[in-house]
C-alpha cells in the first residue's frame, strides 16, 4: 500500500467507528527483501470486540487487503504477488 492509501484507510476507520477511540495505530513500512507486505501496513492494537473484528474483516475484504488478526491486534496490508517475494 502506498502511504496515501494507508492514511485514507486510517481516516475511514476513525470516521466510521468511534469504538476505536483509545486504540493504538501504527503505520509501518516493510523494507525486508522477502516480506509478504507491499509498501506500508496499518497496525491497530486495542480491545477488539466482535463488532470491531467484523468491521475490520469487512473493510479488508472491500479494499482487497490482507489481514492478520490476533486477540488484541490487527494488521492490514497489501500482499506482494508471489513472484515478487
**Ranges of the chain whose pLDDT falls below 70:** 83-85
Q: Tell me the three cell numbers of residue 48.
A: 477488539
Instruction: Find where cell 507486505 sits.
Output: 37
DSSP-assigned beta bridge partners for residue 79: 37
Instruction: Find where cell 506482494 sits.
Output: 80
- For residue 33, what pLDDT is reported? 83
- For residue 84, what pLDDT is reported? 64
In eight-state DSSP terms, residue 32 is -
Task: Confirm if 9 and 39 have CB atoms less than 8 A apart.
Answer: no
- For residue 19, what pLDDT is reported? 87
- For residue 83, what pLDDT is reported? 65
Q: What is the mean pLDDT of the chain?
A: 92
In eight-state DSSP terms, residue 83 is G
Amino acid at each position: 500500500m502506498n502511504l496515501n492509501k494507508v492514511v485514507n484507510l486510517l481516516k475511514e476507520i476513525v470516521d466510521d467507528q468511534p469504538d476505536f477511540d483509545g486504540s493504538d495505530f501504527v503505520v509501518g513500512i516493510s523494507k525486508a527483501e522477502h516480506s509478504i507486505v507491499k509498501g506500508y501496513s496499518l497496525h491497530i492494537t486495542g480491545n477488539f470486540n466482535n463488532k470491531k473484528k467484523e468491521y475490520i474483516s469487512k473493510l479488508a475484504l472491500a479494499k482487497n487487503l490482507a489481514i492478520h488478526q490476533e486477540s488484541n491486534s490487527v494488521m492490514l496490508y497489501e500482499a506482494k504477488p508471489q513472484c515478487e517475494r
